[in-house]
Structure formats: structure tokens, C-alpha cells
Amino acid sequence: MDTCVVSVSMNLAVIGLQFGDEGKGKIVDFLAERFDIIARFSGGSNAGHTVIHDGVPVKFHLLPSGVIRGKVGILGNGMAIDPGKVLDEINMIKSMGIHPKLYISSKAHVVTSLHRALDSRDDELVGIGTTKQGIGPTYTSKYRRIGIRVADLYNPQTLEKKLQLFIELNSLNIDKNELNEELKRLSHYGTLIKDSVVDTEVLINNMMDSGKSALFEGSQGTFLDVDFGTYPFVTSSSTTVGGVVTGLGVPPSKIHRVLGIAKAYTTRVGAGPFPTELSGKEGDELRARGREYGATTGRPRRVGYLDMVLLRYASLINGVTEIALTKLDILQGMDEIQVGTAYDCNATRYLYPPANIDGCKVNYDLYAGWASIDDKNLNDYVKNIERETKARVSILSYGPEPESTVEL
Ligand code: IMP
């Protein structure tokens, strides 16, 4: 295997190794020039990616950010797509003078305003602290087999029947007028996106077979994955590498490399266990230094030390081949930095997280802080990550701009 981070015509999955917000948007943007296709496979507008384009921050929630670089963007079948929000983002980039080459899966599931309303209602009771983007109810409908797929936007009878079922099964208080409004709105959006709607699994495989390369852009992170995350405090989709296969129809043999993105420390938005969390003054300072506020909801993120128990596991289950380490500038100048190495849960030591990590006690190692990006102490921090994850750290990121990035 060559050691170059990403060679041309290799397909690369980019996966968050923590709780999301690792800086995937910036790294995907940094690598986008090397690929023909940038494809998303899971989630929806719960994600938030900020990229700096011509010196200006541009926020994406649904579209793969690579479309601003003229790349083919694909929204895969595994996604939960709010068509109104897709149109907003298309219009945003058109206003920048860019016409996106975008394809939307006919089999992706549609988030309606009713799904969004139900998300808010349910979360009051459940207390996950969701982004209120309708993600949970949309995937619930999918697995309940009453979900609305993009293809249904062109079939008024099916659309009406499915919305009615959704209303009945969830005891929603929606009258006939409201239902008709929603049907009209969805059909209208359907018309506006129609030219982009295709069977993306066929398109992407044919493109790759003819020599085009693809970057599979993950959303959220490994510990928000519905199977491997800190259940039930997770999102409702597969955010790990398996999501590429089911969420795009790409066979495993076409995923050549897996780039894991890890922040130099850890953050989390919303409720759920966070063993290395820092509270009080130390936490407040790190949050302020790292400007840790949610890109979708603006909520302050919880912050804490790097957790090697989580990274080891994320690397294992995603088959990570290389790692991009982000936000190194935020820790720069600290005297010493702690790193979680193992958990003690009910008198048992764990190197990988067990099913329930709430209440686990963390063991820490201490690392000397670094004063610059080429400081030997940073090299020690990085080498430890490589040893523990068995993956090569191939990118260091120390600022939001593309220039604040080095490839090793
Ligand atoms: P949902 O995906 O909106 O259902 O939210 C479920 C959990 O995932 C909540 O704790 C959210 O804060 C979290 N979450 C969802 N998307 C993201 C993201 O893109 N970054 C960070 N956390 C997220």
C-alpha cells in the first residue's frame, strides 16, 4: 500500500472518529480537488459543514461542499433529505455564481415539516437533544415502511397516502387544509429538483467504473452511529464506514481508503455520556478558545480531553487507514495535555468502550504541550495516536483556512 494520503482514482471515505464536528468539512474541502465525485451517504440537515471559500465562510448542511469546486455532488439513498433546504443551498451557491452538478437519489427519504414537528415533540420527552431537523422521525418512517422517498414526490396519490399514515400512526393534530398545503409544497419542491433526481447508485458505480474517483463524505461521527455510538444518545443513521455501502450502493471493494477525522481534543453537542468531559473554568476556556458552538443549532458544545478509548475503537470498526488531526492550534501553548487511555467501569478495565460507558472512570496519560506545529512535543502526541489507532496521521490542521494544513 502506498503511503501518499490520497492518490488519484482511489476512492476515499472520510469518517468522523468522535461525536461529529471534527472538522470534516474543512478536510473534505482541502481534498476535494483530487476527486471527481463527492458523495454523501447518511444524515441530512442535522449536519453542518463550514468551509472557507475565497476567504468567506460558507455553511453547508446537505450539499457536499465539493460542489463549490465544480465537483459532481451526490446525495445518496441513505440520506434524510429536506427538499426545501436542498433548494435553499442550491440557491445560495447559485448566488455565488456557481451552478452545482448535483444528483439526488430517487430512493432517499424525504423530511417533511411534519417530521420536523414530530422531532421537536418527541425530543421533549426523550431528551436526546436532537437538532430538531426531523432526522429521527424520517428514519423511523423508513424502517416502519411508511417513509416518503424522493420518487414519491412525483406520485400525488402515494404521497398523500403516506402522509396520512404518518399523521395517523403518530397521532398528529393536522387538519385537511394543513395536509393539502404540505402536499402542495412537497410536489412543488419535487418539480424544482426533478432534473437532479436519478438512481444515484447506478450513476456513481458507472462513473467509478469509467475511472472517476469518489470521496464519500461522512456526517456526524462514529459515536453518533445508531449501532456503534453511545446509544440511545446517537443520531438515527449509520455514520460509520458501513453507511457508505448501504447509503450509496457502493460495494466495499470500491472503498479503497478510510480517512478518519479526529479533533485534537473531544467535543459533543447534545446529551449523552462523555467520559473525558471538562467542566467548570477549564471547560469554559477550551470552549471559548476552540469557538465550540454548533454549526446547525448554535448550541455551546461540551468539551473535553482526547479520548483514546474512543479513537482506538473508531479506527478498528471503520478500518481507518489514515487520520487527519484537526484544531491543533487550539491546544497550542498549553503547558500539558491529558489524554484518556482506558476506562474503569464496574471494576473492569476497558481499552474499547463497552455498551454502556456512563459512569466509567477514565485513566489519563500526560503529554507536554507544544509551542508550534513543528514542536517535538506535538510529534510525540501524534506518534501516540498512530500507535494506538494503528493508522498513519497524514494531515495536521491548525486553523480553519486551507493554508493552515500540512500533509505528512
Ligand atoms: P439528530 O441527528 O438531530 O437526531 O440528533 C441526535 C444527536 O446527534 C444529538 O445529540 C445531536 O446534537 C447530535 N448531532 C446530530 N448531527 C450532528 C452533527 O452534525 N454534529 C454534532 N452533533 C450532531
| 18 CB near ligand 1 (under 6 Å) | no
Range list for CATH 3.40.440.10 in the chain:
12-104+197-259
Q: Which of 14, 122, 219, 220 to mutate to test the pocket of ligand 1 (most atoms within 8 A of CB)?
A: 220
Is residue 371 within 8 A of residue 399, CB to CB? The reply is no
From the CA of 368, how far away is ligand 1's center (Å)? 33
Range list for CATH 1.10.300.10 in the chain:
110-194
From the CA of 269, how far away is ligand 1's center (Å)? 7
From the CA of 28, how far away is ligand 1's center (Å)? 19
CA gap 217, 211 in Å, rounded: 19
Q: DSSP readout, 325-378?
A: EE-HHHHTT-SEEEEEEEEEETTEEESS--S--TTPEEEEEEEE--SSTT-HHH
Is 54 annotated in the active site? no
From the CA of 219, how far away is ligand 1's center (Å)? 10
User: Which class in CATH covers the domain with range 110-194?
Assistant: mainly alpha
| 220 CB near ligand 1 (under 6 Å) | yes
> SS3 of 40, please?
strand
pLDDT tens for the chain, 408 residues: list them. Answer: 444 455 446 999 999 999 999 999 999 999 999 999 999 999 999 998 888 888 888 899 999 988 999 999 999 999 999 999 999 999 999 999 999 999 999 999 999 999 999 999 999 999 999 999 999 999 999 999 999 999 999 999 999 999 999 999 999 999 999 999 999 999 999 999 999 999 999 999 999 999 999 999 999 999 999 999 999 999 999 999 999 999 999 999 999 999 999 999 999 999 999 999 999 999 999 999 999 988 777 889 999 999 999 999 999 999 999 999 999 999 999 999 999 999 999 999 999 999 999 999 999 999 999 999 999 999 999 999 999 999 999 999 999 888 999 999
Q: What is the pLDDT of residues 231-248, one digit of tens each?
A: 999 999 999 999 999 999
- Considering the segment(s) 12-104+197-259 as one domain, its CATH architecture is 3-Layer(aba) Sandwich (3.40)
Q: What is the pLDDT of residues 267-285, one digit of tens each?
A: 999 999 999 999 999 999 9
Q: Work out which ligand 1 atom sits closest to the CA atom of 21.
A: 20
Output the CA torsion sign for 74, 77, 80, 86: positive
Catalytic residue, chosen from 49, 61, 109, 115, is: 49
Is residue 245 within 8 A of residue 252, CB to CB? The reply is yes
| 267 CB near ligand 1 (under 6 Å) | no
CATH number of the domain at 263-407, out of 3.90.170.10, 3.90.700.10, 3.40.50.720, 1.10.3720.10? 3.90.170.10
Its pTM stands at: 0.96
| 46 CB near ligand 1 (under 6 Å) | yes
